[in-house]
């Protein structure tokens, strides 16, 4: 009996534990799969659109990977409000009234890849907003009231590819946050339709080519400036999407007048007098070097980091890394000042070279893009030699024409012949601008009085095979003769013009 008395309490304890565990699992299951009444749930998708919500509804299912709270009246994002959504990767809060984001609002949202905060009432982008979003790929902040972006606001977004900041109130932007290596995955940075009146062109042109290709700056009230115009013109020639896609929307204010907005990429007459100094500044980032096949070519890396502690790396057009450790390469040699030497340039060495300078002491890095073209023969003299050859060819042609017109090989034809030409013989001299038939025995070829004969074609019996002369059949009675046609055989030409006046 004593043993049964000991077993009974144990059984009751096990039953109680099972009941508690069942209750816990039921509550956990409810939190996993229940859906708030104001939302629509479909598997792992949760939509609470246009429900006039001023607060985030409680009881959001933990299985949600996509949450849409757009078109509501949310005012702020509190700390840890996403703690119960560990799988969330897409969050849409567009078209709300959010003006404040707490420091820990995204503390438990490290998996988030898409964040839409467009069409809200944010006044700035602070440093603490997105520090936890290391996997974020797309950030939408357009159509807010943002007037300032903190320099470090985007520094932790190492995976971000697209950032949209258009239609805000920005008068300045930290372009240093876009430097080489800061945002390695960045493809689009849209700062269009803001209030930028100027930008630091020297810093912008030093940005990587991939960033400039997606750096949208159109529809800003820029003051018309030669340097700015030259930069955008260069981007247009380079085929950058940031200019090509919105070419008509690139405007500037002529004479600093707000109403004098000019489409400077379409109407370029105002910039015809821009000095070469602006072009030289643009050339800092995109220089060009030309060399000859088989000769050495030295390419400079023109950066502002001219320091002994600066290290240099080059990337060839074939995407090959060129560093000091690879200077033993038979094709390239990297000098200590950052210059790259192509020992024996070949045509296949042509292309875009990228130079990257890094200074750890200054904690800065810069990159330059250099266009290299290798020609056959020395490039420097090519234009001169081609022009000289063309000029000499023209002079020789002119001399030959003058010789043909004014130098007669034999002038004996202008004197009366001492011995008449035999009836069956005829030389080329008898076909030189003569009004009489070339042979005495051809009565059918007499020139009629109604024709002004310039060239007479010799008869077949005495033709010398050198030249044939045509006769105009429709001359009028005017005194000026007409030259109709000059027919030549394949043989050499022995007939020339004469200074003797034409008889008719």
Q: How many residues does the chain have?
A: 504
104-130 burial, b at 16+ Cβ within 10 Å, e below that, comes to bbbebbebbbbbbbbbbebeebbeebb
Weakly modelled stretches of the chain, pLDDT under 70: 1-33, 255-260, 267-270, 272-286, 304, 306, 325-329, 377-388, 408-504
Give the per-residue pLDDT at 326. Answer: 53
Give the per-residue pLDDT at 227. Answer: 86
Give the per-residue pLDDT at 125. Answer: 95
Give the per-residue pLDDT at 435. Answer: 42
Give the per-residue pLDDT at 466. Answer: 42
DSSP string spanning 462-497?
A: G--SSEEE---S---S-SS-----EEE-SS------
CA dihedral sign, ordered 384, 390, 394, 395: positive
What is the set of domains in the chain, with CATH numbers? 42-281 (3.80.10.10), 285-379 (2.60.40.10), 411-488 (no CATH)
Give the per-residue pLDDT at 396. Answer: 83
Check: pTM over 0.85? Answer yes or no: no
Give the per-residue pLDDT at 337. Answer: 82
Please give the Cα distance from 427 to 425 (Å, whole number): 7
Give the per-residue pLDDT at 32. Answer: 52
Angle at 207 between CA 203 and CA 210, to 5 degrees: 155
287-326 burial, b at 16+ Cβ within 10 Å, e below that, comes to bebbbbeeeebebebbbebeeeebbbbbbbeeeeebeeee
Strands (E), 158-275: 162-164, 188-190, 215-216, 222-223, 251-253, 261-263
With H, G, I as helix, E, B as strand and everything else as coil, classify residue 271: helix
Give the per-residue pLDDT at 327. Answer: 47
pLDDT tens-digit profile of 358-388?
Answer: 887 777 777 777 888 888 764 444 444 556 6
């Amino acid at each position: 009996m004593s043993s049964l008395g000991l077993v009974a309490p144990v059984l009751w304890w096990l039953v109680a534990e099972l009941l508690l565990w069942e209750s816990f699992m039921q509550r956990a299951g409810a939190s996993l799969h229940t859906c708030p009444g104001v939302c629509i749930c479909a598997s792992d998708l949760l939509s609470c659109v246009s429900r006039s919500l001023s607060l985030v509804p409680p009881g959001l299912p933990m299985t949600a990977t996509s949450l849409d709270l757009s078109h509501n009246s949310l005012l702020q994002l509190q700390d840890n409000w996403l703690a119960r959504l560990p799988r969330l990767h897409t969050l849409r809060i567009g078209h709300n009234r959010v003006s404040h984001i707490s420091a820990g609002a995204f503390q438990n949202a490290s998996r988030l890849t898409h964040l839409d905060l467009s069409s809200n009432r944010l006044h700035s982008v602070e440093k603490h907003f997105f520090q936890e979003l290391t996997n974020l790929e797309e950030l939408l902040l357009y159509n807010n009231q943002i007037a300032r972006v903190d320099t470090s606001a985007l520094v932790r977004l190492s995976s971000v590819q697209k950032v949209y900041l258009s239609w805000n109130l920005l008068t300045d932007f930290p372009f240093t946050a876009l430097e080489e290596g800061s945002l390695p995955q960045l493809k689009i940075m849209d700062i269009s339709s803001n209030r930028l009146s100027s930008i630091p062109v020297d810093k912008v042109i030093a940005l990587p080519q991939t960033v400039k290709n997606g750096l949208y700056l159109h529809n800003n009230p820029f003051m018309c400036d030669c340097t700015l115009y030259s930069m955008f013109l260069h981007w247009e020639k380079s085929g950058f999407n940031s200019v090509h896609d919105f070419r008509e929307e690139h405007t500037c204010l002529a004479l600093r007048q707000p109403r004098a907005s000019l489409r400077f990429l379409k109407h370029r007459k105002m910039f015809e007098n821009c000095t070469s100094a602006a072009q030289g500044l643009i050339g800092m980032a995109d220089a060009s070097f030309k060399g000859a096949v088989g000769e050495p070519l030295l390419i400079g890396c023109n950066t502002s980091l001219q320091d002994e502690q600066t290290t240099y790396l080059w990337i060839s057009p074939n995407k090959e890394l060129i560093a000091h450790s690879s200077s033993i390469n038979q094709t390239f040699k990297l000098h200590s000042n950052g210059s790259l030497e192509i020992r024996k340039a070949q045509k296949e060495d042509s292309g875009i070279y990228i130079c990257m300078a890094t200074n750890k002491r200054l904690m800065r890095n810069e990159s330059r893009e250099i266009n290299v073209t290798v020609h056959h023969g020395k490039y420097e003299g090519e234009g001169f030699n081609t022009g000289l050859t063309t000029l000499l060819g023209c002079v020789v042609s002119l001399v030959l024409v003058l010789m043909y017109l004014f130098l007669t090989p034999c002038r004996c034809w202008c004197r009366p012949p001492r011995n008449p030409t035999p009836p069956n013989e005829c030389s080329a001299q008898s076909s030189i601008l003569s009004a009489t038939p070339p042979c005495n025995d051809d009565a059918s070829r007499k020139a009629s009085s109604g024709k002004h004969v310039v060239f007479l074609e010799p008869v077949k019996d005495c033709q010398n095979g050198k030249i044939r002369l045509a006769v105009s059949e429709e001359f009028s009675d005017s005194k000026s003769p007409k030259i109709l046609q000059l027919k030549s055989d394949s043989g050499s030409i022995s007939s020339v013009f004469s200074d003797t006046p034409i008889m008719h």
